[in-house]
Chain A
Amino acid sequence: MLNKFDIQIREGQEHAVIETAGYLNDALGEQLSEKARELIQNGHTQLVINLEKTTLINSIGISILIEIIEALEEREGTLNFCGLSATQERTFKMMALAKYAGIFPDEESAIANL
């Protein structure tokens, strides 16, 4: 497998951070979706997805991020992204993700703005 990926979870009192590493495609996206679903079911409706170690995100990965935004909306939750490259931020804006989720430069500000 060319794509080596990893997911780390950091749970706070009211929020949780999901940090992904690798190429965000369907395979990593499905794992990310599963972790997000578990967190939401356990009451974490304030989520940060840290993409600092995620080098590339394809359109399938973006579609999975949209599903997480929708799952959180159903629970009146919030999602913030951080650690995006300039190209990733531009793509998120073009695909309207930035309308429904926050984009922040680092994890600290993403958590503070939940």
Chain B
Amino acid sequence: MSKEGKSVSLEHKVLLTIPMYPDMELAAAKTASVLAELMDFEEGQVEEIQLAIIETCINAFEHSQSDDNAVHIEFLLSEDQLQFKIMDRGVGITPDILDGTRLLGSPSVHPDLRKRGRGLQIVRSLMDEVDIESSSNGTTVSVIKRKSRRTA
């Protein structure tokens, strides 16, 4: 895993808290990118991780209504996977947001070209595991991305 024989693999934890301000999801994405690169994820997978964390943060920014106006992120690094938990202390998210059926924005003339409300669908398509726990005390989205096996 890495440069000069140093390893970041063995169950390391990185904590990050970002305020809910425009573009702050990029701070989370850049942190994820650095960690994934240190773990020797392939370039395409690093981009997938960045996009997944961006979409999850934006969901929290848009829907949580949390009093502390912050998103708390826990990265767990292990030998073959990167796990991140994105937590807010908001009001929880409704089932229609969870399953992507809530209509946001103006409808498209093409039913398959839905403009909004597809962030979680993107996350699910790019990551290996996505688990969402939501209550009136907040929401935690747990995501796992496993390293792809490289062919020699």
Contact = CB atoms under 8 A, between A and B. Distances in A.
The answer to whether A and B assemble together is: yes
Interface of A: 1-3, 23, 25-27, 56-60, 62-63, 66-67, 69-70, 73, 85-87, 90-91, 94-97, 99-100
Interface of B: 22-27, 29, 44, 47-48, 50-51, 54-55, 58, 105, 108-110, 112-116, 118-119, 121-122, 125-126
Q: Is the interface of B mostly helix, strand, loop or mixed?
A: helix
Nearest to A3: B23
The 5 closest A-B pairs by CB, nearest first: A63-B115, A96-B112, A2-B23, A87-B47, A2-B26
A94 B23 contact: no
B54 A85 contact: no
Contact of B118 (A27, A59, A70): A59
Given A96-B113, A97-B113, A56 B58 contact: no
B48 A58 contact: no
Nearest to A85: B47
Nearest to A67: B115
